[in-house]
Structure 1
Amino acid sequence: MPQLNPSPWFLILLLSWITLLIIFKTKILLSTQPNNPTTPNLMAHHTAPWIWPWA
Structure 2
Amino acid sequence: MPQLNPAPWFFILLLSWITMLLIFKTKVLYSQTPNNTTPKPLVHHIAPWNWPWA
Q: Give the structure with the higher percent helix.
A: 2
TM-score (normalised: structure 1): 0.43
| Rg (Cα) greater in structure | 2
